[in-house]
Amino acid sequence: ASTPLTFLIIFYYIFSWYRRKKTYDISLYKRGDLLEVSRTLFKHFGIYLGEGRVAHFIPDILPVFTKEKSITEQMVTNERLILGVLAKAASVRVDSLVDFAYGDCIQVNKIDSMVSVQPLNGEEVARRSEKLIGSFSYSLLWHNCEHYVMYCRYGVAFSFQTFQVRKLKRWRPNNSNYEYDSLVHFEFLICVVNVSKLRFIYLYAKKKSKYSENCL
């Protein structure tokens, strides 16, 4: 007899197939464009490099365990992304439009209307994004994909999304003995991950490098 779990498994494989089959018209994007898609509870951002390639800063747990490129260069799933957030392990990497979008529709340069700073020219934006390719530590509030693209396109590292989240800090209990950033990470996991899928969580020590002052 069929069970709800069976239907969920079938849906998962159909959706996975759909993500890989969806195509995007590369004529709609110019080198240096800021691209935006939905991932988990938040928006995810990247910089278009041309020829169907996108540079983006994304958390990923797999490089903590293996350096095998044939594995780590595959599409970053939401499970890998969430565990990467918890481990604070991430990298600026170049992926195809399909892998970057993860089946979602792509919005282009939407942030241009939200900032008073004029964007840099497309070639400079792309050059900045390519210069930062590599592994860095990650913080959901202070060092995420939006900070990365904002620096590349506007020269200022800022995140509209986490600015709104940080406003919740005023409700932090007095004399608390936990890190606010860690609390957000935990709540983020509970909201978007089916805990039954997680066999284990390996908490990896934060990497020392950041793309902030050293790279600007």
Catalytic residues: 145
As a whole number of angstroms, the distance between CA 170 and CA 148 comes to 26
Q: Rounded to the nearest 5 degrees, what angle is found at the Cα of 22, between the Cα atoms of 18 and 27?
A: 170
Per-position DSSP letters for 59-72, written without gaps between them:
E-SHHHH---HHHH
**Cross-sheet strand order for the sheet of 53-59:** 107-108, 34-39, 42-50, 53-59, 89-96, 134-137
Distances (CA, A) of 149 to 6, 26, 67, 130: 40, 19, 26, 11
Report the run of H or E that residue 136 belongs to, with start and end.
strand 134-137
Give the C-alpha separation, 63 to 14, whole Å: 27
Name beta bridge partners: 36.
45, 107
Residue 2 to residues 7, 15, 144, 196, Cα–Cα distance (Å)? 8, 19, 42, 20
Q: What are phi and psi of 131, to 5 degrees?
A: -65, -30
